[in-house]
Chain A
Protein backbone atom coordinates (compact mmCIF):
# COMPACT_ATOMS: atom_id res chain seq x y z
CA UNK A 1 0.00 0.00 0.00
CA UNK A 2 1.96 2.94 -1.28
CA UNK A 3 1.17 6.37 -2.59
CA UNK A 4 -1.43 7.11 0.04
CA UNK A 5 -0.66 10.78 0.17
CA UNK A 6 -3.80 12.58 -0.83
CA UNK A 7 -3.66 14.27 2.55
CA UNK A 8 -4.82 17.82 2.23
CA UNK A 9 -1.71 19.63 3.24
CA UNK A 10 -3.03 22.77 1.66
CA UNK A 11 -6.69 22.58 2.63
CA UNK A 12 -9.16 23.31 -0.11
CA UNK A 13 -11.12 26.48 0.08
CA UNK A 14 -14.66 26.86 -1.05
CA UNK A 15 -14.67 28.11 -4.63
CA UNK A 16 -18.12 28.76 -5.99
CA UNK A 17 -17.42 27.91 -9.64
CA UNK A 18 -15.40 24.78 -9.02
CA UNK A 19 -17.79 23.56 -6.32
CA UNK A 20 -20.81 24.20 -8.49
CA UNK A 21 -19.25 22.20 -11.28
CA UNK A 22 -18.44 19.34 -8.89
CA UNK A 23 -21.96 19.29 -7.47
CA UNK A 24 -23.40 19.50 -10.99
CA UNK A 25 -21.24 16.61 -12.22
CA UNK A 26 -22.23 14.51 -9.22
CA UNK A 27 -25.92 15.16 -9.76
CA UNK A 28 -25.66 14.40 -13.45
CA UNK A 29 -23.98 11.03 -12.98
CA UNK A 30 -27.08 8.98 -12.12
CA UNK A 31 -28.83 10.47 -15.17
CA UNK A 32 -25.95 9.57 -17.47
CA UNK A 33 -25.62 6.12 -15.92
CA UNK A 34 -29.27 5.39 -16.35
CA UNK A 35 -30.65 7.49 -19.23
CA UNK A 36 -33.73 5.31 -19.45
CA UNK A 37 -35.17 7.04 -16.42
CA UNK A 38 -35.46 10.13 -18.64
CA UNK A 39 -37.34 8.23 -21.30
CA UNK A 40 -39.58 6.61 -18.74
CA UNK A 41 -40.62 9.95 -17.35
CA UNK A 42 -41.72 10.90 -20.87
CA UNK A 43 -44.76 8.71 -20.39
CA UNK A 44 -46.83 11.47 -18.85
CA UNK A 45 -46.24 14.09 -21.58
CA UNK A 46 -46.78 11.43 -24.22
CA UNK A 47 -50.11 10.51 -22.70
CA UNK A 48 -51.15 14.14 -22.88
CA UNK A 49 -49.90 14.37 -26.44
CA UNK A 50 -51.63 11.19 -27.53
CA UNK A 51 -54.90 11.45 -25.61
CA UNK A 52 -55.43 15.14 -25.01
CA UNK A 53 -54.35 16.62 -28.33
CA UNK A 54 -57.00 14.58 -30.23
CA UNK A 55 -59.66 16.04 -27.93
CA UNK A 56 -58.47 19.54 -28.71
CA UNK A 57 -58.47 18.75 -32.40
CA UNK A 58 -61.93 17.25 -32.19
CA UNK A 59 -63.29 20.28 -30.37
CA UNK A 60 -61.72 23.02 -32.45
CA UNK A 61 -61.86 21.26 -35.78
CA UNK A 62 -58.49 22.84 -36.57
CA UNK A 63 -55.90 20.82 -38.54
CA UNK A 64 -53.59 18.56 -36.54
CA UNK A 65 -50.44 20.58 -37.29
CA UNK A 66 -52.00 23.81 -36.13
CA UNK A 67 -53.25 22.26 -32.92
CA UNK A 68 -49.86 20.73 -32.20
CA UNK A 69 -48.23 24.08 -32.81
CA UNK A 70 -50.39 25.43 -30.00
CA UNK A 71 -50.28 22.38 -27.74
CA UNK A 72 -46.66 21.12 -27.87
CA UNK A 73 -45.08 24.22 -26.24
CA UNK A 74 -47.50 23.73 -23.32
CA UNK A 75 -46.47 20.09 -23.02
CA UNK A 76 -42.83 21.16 -22.85
CA UNK A 77 -43.58 23.55 -20.01
CA UNK A 78 -45.55 20.78 -18.36
CA UNK A 79 -42.45 18.58 -18.43
CA UNK A 80 -40.60 21.28 -16.54
CA UNK A 81 -43.45 21.82 -14.11
CA UNK A 82 -43.79 18.16 -13.14
CA UNK A 83 -40.19 17.02 -13.49
CA UNK A 84 -38.44 19.95 -11.92
CA UNK A 85 -41.20 20.83 -9.49
CA UNK A 86 -40.74 17.47 -7.78
CA UNK A 87 -36.95 17.41 -7.74
CA UNK A 88 -36.83 18.70 -4.17
CA UNK A 89 -38.03 15.30 -3.02
CA UNK A 90 -34.65 13.86 -4.05
CA UNK A 91 -32.90 16.32 -1.78
CA UNK A 92 -35.39 15.66 0.97
CA UNK A 93 -34.63 11.97 0.73
CA UNK A 94 -30.91 12.68 0.97
CA UNK A 95 -31.54 14.88 3.98
CA UNK A 96 -33.24 11.97 5.69
CA UNK A 97 -30.76 9.27 4.72
CA UNK A 98 -27.69 11.32 5.65
CA UNK A 99 -25.88 12.04 2.41
CA UNK A 100 -26.92 15.70 2.41
CA UNK A 101 -25.25 16.03 5.80
CA UNK A 102 -22.06 14.65 4.34
CA UNK A 103 -22.01 17.29 1.62
CA UNK A 104 -22.63 19.99 4.22
CA UNK A 105 -19.47 19.01 6.08
CA UNK A 106 -17.44 19.04 2.85
CA UNK A 107 -15.62 22.31 2.09
CA UNK A 108 -18.15 23.39 -0.53
CA UNK A 109 -19.64 26.83 -0.98
CA UNK A 110 -23.21 26.63 0.29
CA UNK A 111 -24.52 28.36 -2.80
CA UNK A 112 -22.92 25.74 -5.04
CA UNK A 113 -24.76 22.95 -3.25
CA UNK A 114 -27.97 24.58 -4.47
CA UNK A 115 -26.89 25.96 -7.82
CA UNK A 116 -25.13 22.78 -8.94
CA UNK A 117 -28.28 20.80 -8.27
CA UNK A 118 -30.52 23.36 -9.95
CA UNK A 119 -28.35 23.49 -13.07
CA UNK A 120 -28.56 19.76 -13.42
CA UNK A 121 -32.30 20.12 -14.03
CA UNK A 122 -31.43 21.54 -17.44
CA UNK A 123 -30.22 18.18 -18.72
CA UNK A 124 -33.46 16.21 -18.47
CA UNK A 125 -35.48 19.22 -19.60
CA UNK A 126 -33.51 19.63 -22.82
CA UNK A 127 -33.38 15.93 -23.63
CA UNK A 128 -37.05 15.36 -22.97
CA UNK A 129 -38.16 18.51 -24.80
CA UNK A 130 -36.20 17.55 -27.90
CA UNK A 131 -37.66 14.05 -27.84
CA UNK A 132 -41.22 15.38 -27.57
CA UNK A 133 -40.64 17.82 -30.43
CA UNK A 134 -39.22 15.04 -32.60
CA UNK A 135 -42.17 12.80 -31.81
CA UNK A 136 -44.64 15.56 -32.72
CA UNK A 137 -42.77 16.44 -35.92
CA UNK A 138 -44.11 13.67 -38.21
CA UNK A 139 -47.66 14.64 -37.18
CA UNK A 140 -47.28 18.09 -38.61
CA UNK A 141 -45.49 20.07 -35.91
CA UNK A 142 -43.19 22.61 -37.59
CA UNK A 143 -39.70 22.98 -36.13
CA UNK A 144 -38.06 26.38 -36.31
CA UNK A 145 -34.46 25.55 -35.31
CA UNK A 146 -33.57 28.96 -33.91
CA UNK A 147 -36.91 29.25 -32.17
CA UNK A 148 -36.43 25.81 -30.68
CA UNK A 149 -32.95 26.68 -29.43
CA UNK A 150 -34.12 29.87 -27.73
CA UNK A 151 -37.23 28.07 -26.51
CA UNK A 152 -35.08 25.40 -24.86
CA UNK A 153 -33.02 28.13 -23.21
CA UNK A 154 -36.23 29.67 -21.86
CA UNK A 155 -37.30 26.29 -20.48
CA UNK A 156 -33.86 25.81 -18.94
CA UNK A 157 -33.95 29.13 -17.10
CA UNK A 158 -37.48 28.51 -15.92
CA UNK A 159 -36.49 24.98 -14.85
CA UNK A 160 -33.51 26.21 -12.83
CA UNK A 161 -35.86 28.60 -11.02
CA UNK A 162 -38.57 26.05 -10.41
CA UNK A 163 -36.03 23.44 -9.34
CA UNK A 164 -34.56 25.90 -6.85
CA UNK A 165 -38.01 26.58 -5.46
CA UNK A 166 -38.58 22.86 -5.10
CA UNK A 167 -35.27 22.49 -3.27
CA UNK A 168 -36.17 25.43 -1.04
CA UNK A 169 -39.39 23.69 -0.15
CA UNK A 170 -37.49 20.49 0.67
CA UNK A 171 -35.02 22.37 2.87
CA UNK A 172 -37.87 24.13 4.65
CA UNK A 173 -40.01 21.06 5.24
CA UNK A 174 -37.06 18.91 6.36
CA UNK A 175 -38.15 15.35 7.13
CA UNK A 176 -41.87 16.05 6.71
CA UNK A 177 -42.48 14.47 3.32
CA UNK A 178 -46.22 14.88 3.63
CA UNK A 179 -45.74 18.63 3.94
CA UNK A 180 -43.47 18.79 0.91
CA UNK A 181 -45.94 16.92 -1.27
CA UNK A 182 -48.91 18.73 0.21
CA UNK A 183 -47.52 22.14 -0.67
CA UNK A 184 -46.18 20.95 -4.01
CA UNK A 185 -49.49 19.46 -5.15
CA UNK A 186 -51.50 22.39 -3.82
CA UNK A 187 -49.46 24.76 -5.94
CA UNK A 188 -48.76 22.76 -9.05
CA UNK A 189 -52.28 22.11 -10.29
CA UNK A 190 -53.57 25.70 -10.01
CA UNK A 191 -50.36 26.85 -11.71
CA UNK A 192 -50.94 24.30 -14.45
CA UNK A 193 -54.60 25.03 -15.08
CA UNK A 194 -54.19 28.80 -14.80
CA UNK A 195 -51.43 28.80 -17.38
CA UNK A 196 -53.58 27.98 -20.40
CA UNK A 197 -51.25 25.08 -21.02
CA UNK A 198 -53.89 22.47 -21.72
CA UNK A 199 -56.93 24.55 -22.60
CA UNK A 200 -57.10 28.14 -23.81
CA UNK A 201 -58.10 30.60 -21.11
CA UNK A 202 -60.06 32.82 -23.51
CA UNK A 203 -63.39 31.39 -22.46
CA UNK A 204 -62.48 31.27 -18.74
CA UNK A 205 -64.35 33.48 -16.26
CA UNK A 206 -62.89 36.92 -15.64
CA UNK A 207 -61.39 36.13 -12.25
CA UNK A 208 -59.50 33.16 -13.64
CA UNK A 209 -58.05 35.27 -16.40
CA UNK A 210 -57.10 37.89 -13.84
CA UNK A 211 -55.24 35.31 -11.75
CA UNK A 212 -53.60 33.93 -14.88
CA UNK A 213 -52.05 37.30 -15.67
CA UNK A 214 -49.92 37.06 -12.53
CA UNK A 215 -49.05 33.40 -13.13
CA UNK A 216 -45.50 33.27 -14.47
CA UNK A 217 -46.16 29.81 -15.93
CA UNK A 218 -48.79 31.38 -18.18
CA UNK A 219 -46.25 33.87 -19.55
CA UNK A 220 -43.63 31.20 -20.04
CA UNK A 221 -46.13 29.07 -21.98
CA UNK A 222 -47.05 32.02 -24.22
CA UNK A 223 -43.42 32.91 -24.76
CA UNK A 224 -42.62 29.31 -25.59
CA UNK A 225 -45.45 29.21 -28.13
CA UNK A 226 -44.18 32.34 -29.84
CA UNK A 227 -40.60 31.06 -29.90
CA UNK A 228 -41.40 27.58 -31.23
CA UNK A 229 -43.52 29.25 -33.91
CA UNK A 230 -40.53 31.42 -34.86
CA UNK A 231 -42.34 34.61 -33.86
CA UNK A 232 -39.43 36.40 -32.18
CA UNK A 233 -41.03 39.83 -32.42
CA UNK A 234 -43.97 38.90 -30.21
CA UNK A 235 -44.13 40.65 -26.83
CA UNK A 236 -44.98 37.22 -25.41
CA UNK A 237 -41.30 36.33 -25.88
CA UNK A 238 -40.26 39.29 -23.77
CA UNK A 239 -42.75 38.51 -21.01
CA UNK A 240 -41.84 34.85 -21.13
CA UNK A 241 -38.21 35.71 -20.48
CA UNK A 242 -39.04 38.25 -17.80
CA UNK A 243 -41.16 35.65 -16.00
CA UNK A 244 -38.61 32.85 -16.32
CA UNK A 245 -35.77 35.08 -15.14
CA UNK A 246 -37.87 36.34 -12.24
CA UNK A 247 -38.70 32.79 -11.16
CA UNK A 248 -35.01 31.87 -11.46
CA UNK A 249 -33.92 34.88 -9.41
CA UNK A 250 -36.46 34.31 -6.65
CA UNK A 251 -35.85 30.57 -6.65
CA UNK A 252 -32.07 30.84 -6.44
CA UNK A 253 -32.27 33.51 -3.75
CA UNK A 254 -34.64 31.46 -1.58
CA UNK A 255 -32.76 28.26 -2.28
CA UNK A 256 -29.32 29.59 -1.44
CA UNK A 257 -30.67 31.18 1.70
CA UNK A 258 -32.29 27.91 2.77
CA UNK A 259 -29.12 25.95 1.97
CA UNK A 260 -27.03 28.30 4.12
CA UNK A 261 -29.34 27.56 7.04
CA UNK A 262 -29.45 23.83 6.42
CA UNK A 263 -27.93 21.46 8.92
Chain B
Protein backbone atom coordinates (compact mmCIF):
# COMPACT_ATOMS: atom_id res chain seq x y z
CA UNK B 1 0.00 0.00 0.00
CA UNK B 2 2.18 2.81 -1.22
CA UNK B 3 -0.11 5.02 -3.30
CA UNK B 4 -3.56 6.19 -2.39
CA UNK B 5 -6.06 4.23 -4.51
CA UNK B 6 -7.21 5.83 -7.74
CA UNK B 7 -10.68 4.36 -7.25
CA UNK B 8 -12.13 3.67 -3.86
CA UNK B 9 -15.76 2.81 -3.23
CA UNK B 10 -17.67 2.00 -0.10
CA UNK B 11 -21.05 0.34 -0.27
CA UNK B 12 -21.84 1.89 -3.63
CA UNK B 13 -25.43 1.00 -4.43
CA UNK B 14 -27.85 1.88 -7.21
CA UNK B 15 -31.50 1.04 -7.31
CA UNK B 16 -33.81 1.97 -10.15
CA UNK B 17 -37.55 2.11 -9.96
CA UNK B 18 -39.10 0.60 -13.05
CA UNK B 19 -42.89 0.50 -13.20
CA UNK B 20 -43.09 0.84 -9.39
CA UNK B 21 -40.74 -2.09 -8.97
CA UNK B 22 -37.33 -1.66 -7.50
CA UNK B 23 -34.42 -3.02 -9.47
CA UNK B 24 -31.22 -3.41 -7.46
CA UNK B 25 -28.76 -2.75 -10.28
CA UNK B 26 -25.67 -2.54 -8.07
CA UNK B 27 -25.50 -3.56 -4.43
CA UNK B 28 -22.81 -2.66 -1.97
CA UNK B 29 -19.87 -2.26 -4.31
CA UNK B 30 -16.74 -1.81 -2.20
CA UNK B 31 -13.51 -1.91 -4.13
CA UNK B 32 -10.12 -0.28 -4.21
CA UNK B 33 -8.04 0.10 -7.37
CA UNK B 34 -4.41 1.18 -7.36
CA UNK B 35 -2.96 3.54 -9.97
CA UNK B 36 -1.74 1.63 -13.03
CA UNK B 37 -3.89 -1.44 -12.48
CA UNK B 38 -5.80 -3.08 -15.32
CA UNK B 39 -9.08 -4.26 -13.91
CA UNK B 40 -11.88 -6.08 -15.70
CA UNK B 41 -15.48 -6.38 -14.67
CA UNK B 42 -16.72 -9.72 -15.96
CA UNK B 43 -20.37 -10.64 -15.77
CA UNK B 44 -23.47 -11.49 -17.76
CA UNK B 45 -25.98 -9.00 -19.14
CA UNK B 46 -27.72 -7.10 -16.39
CA UNK B 47 -25.04 -7.86 -13.82
CA UNK B 48 -24.66 -4.15 -13.09
CA UNK B 49 -21.37 -3.46 -14.88
CA UNK B 50 -22.56 -0.44 -16.84
CA UNK B 51 -24.41 0.99 -13.89
CA UNK B 52 -21.23 0.77 -11.80
CA UNK B 53 -19.27 2.58 -14.48
CA UNK B 54 -21.97 5.21 -14.88
CA UNK B 55 -21.75 5.97 -11.18
CA UNK B 56 -17.96 6.12 -11.19
CA UNK B 57 -17.97 8.45 -14.21
CA UNK B 58 -20.47 10.83 -12.49
CA UNK B 59 -23.25 10.11 -14.99
CA UNK B 60 -25.69 8.91 -12.36
CA UNK B 61 -25.72 9.52 -8.61
CA UNK B 62 -25.58 6.47 -6.36
CA UNK B 63 -28.59 5.57 -4.24
CA UNK B 64 -26.27 4.87 -1.32
CA UNK B 65 -22.59 4.62 -0.54
CA UNK B 66 -19.75 6.79 -1.75
CA UNK B 67 -16.77 6.71 -4.04
CA UNK B 68 -13.61 8.66 -4.67
CA UNK B 69 -12.21 8.62 -8.17
CA UNK B 70 -8.78 10.12 -8.88
CA UNK B 71 -8.92 11.65 -5.43
CA UNK B 72 -12.33 13.31 -5.75
CA UNK B 73 -15.78 12.53 -4.48
CA UNK B 74 -18.12 11.48 -7.31
CA UNK B 75 -21.09 13.23 -5.68
CA UNK B 76 -19.66 16.53 -4.56
CA UNK B 77 -16.70 17.00 -6.91
CA UNK B 78 -18.08 15.62 -10.16
CA UNK B 79 -16.37 18.27 -12.30
CA UNK B 80 -12.97 17.41 -10.79
CA UNK B 81 -13.53 13.75 -11.49
CA UNK B 82 -14.57 14.40 -15.11
CA UNK B 83 -11.47 16.43 -15.78
CA UNK B 84 -9.31 13.43 -14.89
CA UNK B 85 -11.00 10.47 -16.52
CA UNK B 86 -11.81 9.13 -19.94
CA UNK B 87 -14.87 7.07 -20.78
CA UNK B 88 -15.89 4.87 -23.65
CA UNK B 89 -19.56 4.10 -23.11
CA UNK B 90 -21.42 1.02 -24.15
CA UNK B 91 -23.25 2.78 -26.98
CA UNK B 92 -21.91 5.00 -29.81
CA UNK B 93 -19.86 8.02 -28.73
CA UNK B 94 -19.83 9.79 -32.07
CA UNK B 95 -22.79 11.90 -33.08
CA UNK B 96 -24.34 10.49 -36.25
CA UNK B 97 -24.45 13.90 -37.93
CA UNK B 98 -20.75 14.58 -37.36
CA UNK B 99 -17.74 13.59 -39.41
CA UNK B 100 -15.16 11.27 -37.88
CA UNK B 101 -12.32 13.79 -38.00
CA UNK B 102 -14.49 16.60 -36.65
CA UNK B 103 -15.60 14.57 -33.66
CA UNK B 104 -12.00 13.84 -32.74
CA UNK B 105 -11.08 17.53 -32.88
CA UNK B 106 -14.15 18.50 -30.86
CA UNK B 107 -13.26 15.92 -28.26
CA UNK B 108 -9.73 17.33 -28.05
CA UNK B 109 -11.13 20.83 -27.59
CA UNK B 110 -13.51 19.60 -24.89
CA UNK B 111 -10.51 18.32 -22.94
CA UNK B 112 -8.58 21.55 -23.33
CA UNK B 113 -6.07 20.26 -25.87
CA UNK B 114 -4.42 22.80 -28.14
CA UNK B 115 -5.58 22.45 -31.70
CA UNK B 116 -2.18 21.43 -33.04
CA UNK B 117 -1.90 18.72 -30.37
CA UNK B 118 -5.41 17.55 -31.09
CA UNK B 119 -4.70 17.30 -34.80
CA UNK B 120 -1.52 15.33 -34.20
CA UNK B 121 -3.17 13.00 -31.73
CA UNK B 122 -6.16 12.50 -34.05
CA UNK B 123 -3.80 11.64 -36.94
CA UNK B 124 -2.10 9.07 -34.82
CA UNK B 125 -5.29 7.41 -33.59
CA UNK B 126 -6.98 7.49 -36.99
CA UNK B 127 -3.97 5.81 -38.49
CA UNK B 128 -3.53 3.07 -35.94
CA UNK B 129 -7.21 2.29 -35.49
CA UNK B 130 -7.63 2.00 -39.24
CA UNK B 131 -9.94 4.96 -39.66
CA UNK B 132 -7.90 6.83 -42.27
CA UNK B 133 -10.15 6.04 -45.22
CA UNK B 134 -13.30 7.09 -43.42
CA UNK B 135 -12.04 10.19 -41.69
CA UNK B 136 -14.24 12.57 -43.61
CA UNK B 137 -17.30 10.34 -43.53
CA UNK B 138 -20.16 11.05 -41.21
CA UNK B 139 -20.59 8.69 -38.27
CA UNK B 140 -23.94 7.63 -39.66
CA UNK B 141 -22.22 6.06 -42.66
CA UNK B 142 -19.88 3.87 -40.63
CA UNK B 143 -20.23 0.15 -40.05
CA UNK B 144 -20.68 -1.12 -36.51
CA UNK B 145 -17.00 -1.99 -36.13
CA UNK B 146 -15.89 1.37 -37.54
CA UNK B 147 -18.17 3.20 -35.12
CA UNK B 148 -16.71 1.25 -32.24
CA UNK B 149 -13.17 2.08 -33.30
CA UNK B 150 -14.11 5.74 -33.43
CA UNK B 151 -15.56 5.47 -29.91
CA UNK B 152 -12.25 4.14 -28.75
CA UNK B 153 -10.27 6.81 -30.56
CA UNK B 154 -12.48 9.42 -28.86
CA UNK B 155 -11.84 7.87 -25.47
CA UNK B 156 -8.08 7.82 -26.05
CA UNK B 157 -7.79 11.36 -27.47
CA UNK B 158 -6.70 13.06 -24.27
CA UNK B 159 -4.81 10.07 -22.82
CA UNK B 160 -6.42 10.33 -19.38
CA UNK B 161 -4.79 8.93 -16.24
CA UNK B 162 -7.85 6.75 -15.66
CA UNK B 163 -9.81 5.23 -18.51
CA UNK B 164 -13.16 3.47 -18.23
CA UNK B 165 -14.30 1.30 -21.12
CA UNK B 166 -17.71 -0.34 -21.19
CA UNK B 167 -17.57 -3.46 -23.37
CA UNK B 168 -15.16 -1.81 -25.78
CA UNK B 169 -14.61 -4.80 -28.01
CA UNK B 170 -18.24 -5.69 -28.60
CA UNK B 171 -18.87 -5.80 -32.32
CA UNK B 172 -15.19 -5.76 -33.29
CA UNK B 173 -13.56 -8.32 -35.49
CA UNK B 174 -10.58 -10.19 -33.96
CA UNK B 175 -8.06 -7.99 -35.77
CA UNK B 176 -9.58 -4.77 -34.44
CA UNK B 177 -9.91 -6.29 -31.02
CA UNK B 178 -6.22 -7.03 -31.00
CA UNK B 179 -5.48 -3.45 -32.17
CA UNK B 180 -7.69 -2.07 -29.44
CA UNK B 181 -5.81 -3.96 -26.79
CA UNK B 182 -2.51 -2.94 -28.27
CA UNK B 183 -3.60 0.67 -27.81
CA UNK B 184 -4.78 0.17 -24.30
CA UNK B 185 -1.62 -1.63 -23.29
CA UNK B 186 0.57 0.99 -24.93
CA UNK B 187 -1.31 3.77 -23.20
CA UNK B 188 -0.62 2.03 -19.93
CA UNK B 189 3.01 1.56 -20.70
CA UNK B 190 3.59 5.14 -21.79
CA UNK B 191 1.47 6.96 -19.27
CA UNK B 192 0.85 4.51 -16.48
CA UNK B 193 -2.85 4.76 -17.27
CA UNK B 194 -5.22 2.90 -15.01
CA UNK B 195 -7.68 0.92 -17.09
CA UNK B 196 -11.08 -0.20 -15.89
CA UNK B 197 -12.88 -2.27 -18.46
CA UNK B 198 -16.08 -4.27 -18.52
CA UNK B 199 -16.25 -7.24 -20.76
CA UNK B 200 -18.31 -10.08 -21.90
CA UNK B 201 -15.40 -11.89 -23.43
CA UNK B 202 -13.96 -14.41 -21.03
CA UNK B 203 -10.87 -14.73 -23.14
CA UNK B 204 -10.25 -11.01 -22.96
CA UNK B 205 -10.54 -10.80 -19.20
CA UNK B 206 -8.36 -13.85 -18.95
CA UNK B 207 -5.65 -12.64 -21.25
CA UNK B 208 -5.32 -8.94 -20.53
CA UNK B 209 -6.71 -8.11 -17.13
CA UNK B 210 -4.40 -8.35 -14.16
CA UNK B 211 -7.37 -8.43 -11.93
CA UNK B 212 -10.84 -9.74 -12.59
CA UNK B 213 -13.91 -8.68 -10.66
CA UNK B 214 -16.65 -11.19 -11.31
CA UNK B 215 -20.02 -9.54 -11.08
CA UNK B 216 -23.41 -11.15 -10.88
CA UNK B 217 -26.81 -9.72 -9.99
CA UNK B 218 -25.36 -6.42 -8.87
CA UNK B 219 -22.71 -7.83 -6.60
CA UNK B 220 -19.01 -8.50 -6.97
CA UNK B 221 -18.69 -12.17 -6.11
CA UNK B 222 -14.97 -12.65 -6.70
CA UNK B 223 -11.97 -10.38 -7.02
CA UNK B 224 -8.54 -11.74 -7.88
CA UNK B 225 -6.11 -12.42 -10.71
CA UNK B 226 -7.44 -14.77 -13.36
CA UNK B 227 -4.98 -17.58 -12.53
CA UNK B 228 -5.76 -17.31 -8.82
CA UNK B 229 -9.50 -17.37 -9.49
CA UNK B 230 -9.11 -20.42 -11.65
CA UNK B 231 -6.93 -22.36 -9.27
CA UNK B 232 -8.97 -21.59 -6.18
CA UNK B 233 -12.48 -21.67 -7.62
CA UNK B 234 -12.24 -24.13 -10.47
CA UNK B 235 -9.89 -26.96 -11.40
CA UNK B 236 -8.29 -28.77 -14.28
CA UNK B 237 -10.56 -31.27 -15.95
CA UNK B 238 -8.87 -34.65 -16.45
CA UNK B 239 -10.54 -37.00 -18.92
CA UNK B 240 -9.61 -40.60 -19.75
CA UNK B 241 -10.84 -42.77 -22.57
CA UNK B 242 -10.83 -46.59 -22.56
CA UNK B 243 -11.48 -49.38 -25.00
CA UNK B 244 -14.71 -50.50 -23.30
CA UNK B 245 -17.49 -49.12 -21.13
CA UNK B 246 -16.65 -51.65 -18.41
CA UNK B 247 -13.11 -50.38 -18.16
CA UNK B 248 -14.35 -46.79 -18.00
CA UNK B 249 -16.72 -47.65 -15.14
CA UNK B 250 -14.01 -49.51 -13.29
CA UNK B 251 -11.71 -46.50 -13.71
CA UNK B 252 -14.05 -44.27 -11.69
CA UNK B 253 -13.11 -45.92 -8.40
CA UNK B 254 -9.39 -45.66 -9.18
CA UNK B 255 -9.73 -41.99 -10.08
CA UNK B 256 -11.64 -41.24 -6.89
CA UNK B 257 -9.04 -43.05 -4.80
CA UNK B 258 -6.02 -41.31 -6.35
CA UNK B 259 -7.42 -37.78 -6.63
CA UNK B 260 -9.73 -37.74 -3.66
CA UNK B 261 -12.41 -36.23 -5.93
CA UNK B 262 -15.60 -37.63 -7.31
CA UNK B 263 -15.27 -38.99 -10.84
CA UNK B 264 -18.04 -39.35 -13.40
CA UNK B 265 -18.65 -40.57 -16.94
CA UNK B 266 -19.07 -37.83 -19.50
CA UNK B 267 -21.50 -37.94 -22.44
CA UNK B 268 -19.07 -39.93 -24.61
CA UNK B 269 -18.49 -42.50 -21.91
CA UNK B 270 -15.13 -41.27 -20.73
CA UNK B 271 -14.12 -41.05 -17.09
CA UNK B 272 -13.62 -37.51 -15.92
CA UNK B 273 -12.80 -35.59 -12.78
CA UNK B 274 -11.91 -32.04 -11.78
CA UNK B 275 -8.79 -31.47 -9.71
CA UNK B 276 -6.47 -28.71 -8.64
CA UNK B 277 -2.96 -29.03 -10.05
CA UNK B 278 -3.96 -31.36 -12.87
CA UNK B 279 -0.60 -31.21 -14.67
CA UNK B 280 1.10 -33.02 -11.82
CA UNK B 281 -1.73 -35.47 -11.21
CA UNK B 282 -2.19 -36.59 -14.81
CA UNK B 283 0.84 -38.94 -14.96
CA UNK B 284 0.14 -40.21 -11.46
CA UNK B 285 -3.40 -41.16 -12.41
CA UNK B 286 -2.30 -42.85 -15.63
CA UNK B 287 0.17 -44.98 -13.75
CA UNK B 288 -2.42 -45.95 -11.14
CA UNK B 289 -4.86 -46.92 -13.88
CA UNK B 290 -2.18 -49.04 -15.56
CA UNK B 291 -1.42 -50.75 -12.27
CA UNK B 292 -5.11 -51.56 -11.94
CA UNK B 293 -4.97 -53.27 -15.32
CA UNK B 294 -7.01 -50.59 -17.11
CA UNK B 295 -5.46 -49.58 -20.45
CA UNK B 296 -5.77 -45.82 -20.94
CA UNK B 297 -6.37 -45.01 -24.60
CA UNK B 298 -6.66 -41.23 -24.39
CA UNK B 299 -5.83 -38.74 -21.65
CA UNK B 300 -6.47 -35.01 -21.58
CA UNK B 301 -5.97 -32.33 -18.97
CA UNK B 302 -7.90 -29.13 -19.67
CA UNK B 303 -7.14 -26.05 -17.59
CA UNK B 304 -10.20 -24.19 -16.29
CA UNK B 305 -11.67 -21.14 -17.97
CA UNK B 306 -13.20 -18.16 -16.26
CA UNK B 307 -16.54 -19.62 -17.24
CA UNK B 308 -15.77 -22.55 -14.97
CA UNK B 309 -15.05 -19.99 -12.28
CA UNK B 310 -18.39 -18.35 -12.92
CA UNK B 311 -20.08 -21.74 -12.84
CA UNK B 312 -18.40 -22.62 -9.58
CA UNK B 313 -19.45 -19.30 -8.05
CA UNK B 314 -23.04 -19.10 -9.24
CA UNK B 315 -24.05 -22.57 -10.32
CA UNK B 316 -24.73 -21.31 -13.84
CA UNK B 317 -22.49 -20.67 -16.81
CA UNK B 318 -22.13 -17.14 -18.13
CA UNK B 319 -24.07 -18.14 -21.19
CA UNK B 320 -27.06 -19.37 -19.19
CA UNK B 321 -26.89 -16.25 -17.06
CA UNK B 322 -27.05 -14.11 -20.18
CA UNK B 323 -30.02 -15.96 -21.47
CA UNK B 324 -32.03 -15.54 -18.28
CA UNK B 325 -31.04 -11.87 -18.07
CA UNK B 326 -32.30 -11.24 -21.59
CA UNK B 327 -35.54 -13.08 -21.03
CA UNK B 328 -36.17 -11.51 -17.65
CA UNK B 329 -35.91 -7.81 -18.39
CA UNK B 330 -36.44 -6.01 -21.63
CA UNK B 331 -33.53 -3.70 -20.83
CA UNK B 332 -30.82 -3.12 -23.35
CA UNK B 333 -31.16 -6.59 -24.77
CA UNK B 334 -31.15 -5.23 -28.27
CA UNK B 335 -27.76 -3.72 -27.84
CA UNK B 336 -26.18 -6.46 -25.80
CA UNK B 337 -27.36 -9.36 -27.89
CA UNK B 338 -24.37 -9.36 -30.25
CA UNK B 339 -22.13 -9.35 -27.21
CA UNK B 340 -24.01 -12.24 -25.70
CA UNK B 341 -23.76 -14.15 -28.93
CA UNK B 342 -20.07 -13.50 -29.26
CA UNK B 343 -19.50 -14.61 -25.69
CA UNK B 344 -21.49 -17.72 -26.37
CA UNK B 345 -19.44 -18.54 -29.44
CA UNK B 346 -16.32 -18.05 -27.48
CA UNK B 347 -17.43 -20.35 -24.73
CA UNK B 348 -18.35 -22.95 -27.29
CA UNK B 349 -15.00 -22.55 -28.97
CA UNK B 350 -13.20 -22.97 -25.67
CA UNK B 351 -14.95 -26.20 -24.84
Contacts and interface: CB of A to CB of B under 8 A. Distances in A.
Given A8-B83, A105-B87, A26 B121 contact: no
Contact of A29 (B99, B108, B124): B99
B200 interface: no
A212 to B, nearest CB: 36
B92 A97 contact: yes
Interface in A97-111: 97-99, 101-108
A179 B191 CA distance: 46
Contact of B92 (A25, A98, A103, A105): A98
B231 interface: no
B151 to A, nearest CB: 8
A14 B159 contact: no
A206 interface: no
B98 A30 contact: yes
Contacts of B93: 98-99, 101-102
Given A94-B95, A99-B93, A263-B54, A6 B159 contact: yes
B124 A102 contact: no
Contacts of A12: 83, 111-112
> Number of contact residues on B: which range applies?
35 or more
Contacts, number: 113
Nearest to A13: B83
A98 to B, nearest CB: 3
A25 B191 CA distance: 30
A6 B117 contact: yes
Interface string A1-34: 1011111100111100001001001100110010
Contacts of A26: 98, 102, 106, 109
B264 to A, nearest CB: 47
A105 B111 contact: no
B59 A25 contact: no
Contact of A99 (B94, B99, B124, B157): B94
B10 interface: no
Contacts of B94: 99
Contacts of B90: 98
B84 A11 contact: yes
Contacts of A263: 54, 59-60
B181 interface: no
Q: Tell which of B59, B79, B138 has the most Cβ of chain A within 10 Å.
A: B79
Contacts of A48: none
B154 interface: yes
B348 to A, nearest CB: 30
Contacts of A3: 120
A33 B158 contact: no
A141 B161 CA distance: 61
Contact of B82 (A22, A29, A107): A107
Interface string B52-64: 0010011110000
Interface pairs A-B: 8 shortest CB-CB: A98-B91, A12-B112, A11-B83, A107-B83, A26-B106, A99-B95, A102-B93, A106-B110
Given A1-B124, A25-B109, A107-B82, 11 more contacts: A8-B160, A11-B80, A14-B83, A94-B95, A98-B93, A101-B59, A101-B91, A106-B107, A107-B110, A107-B112, A108-B110
Interface of B: 54, 57-60, 79-80, 82-85, 87, 89-99, 102, 106-113, 117-118, 120-121, 124, 128, 138, 154, 157-161, 186, 190-191
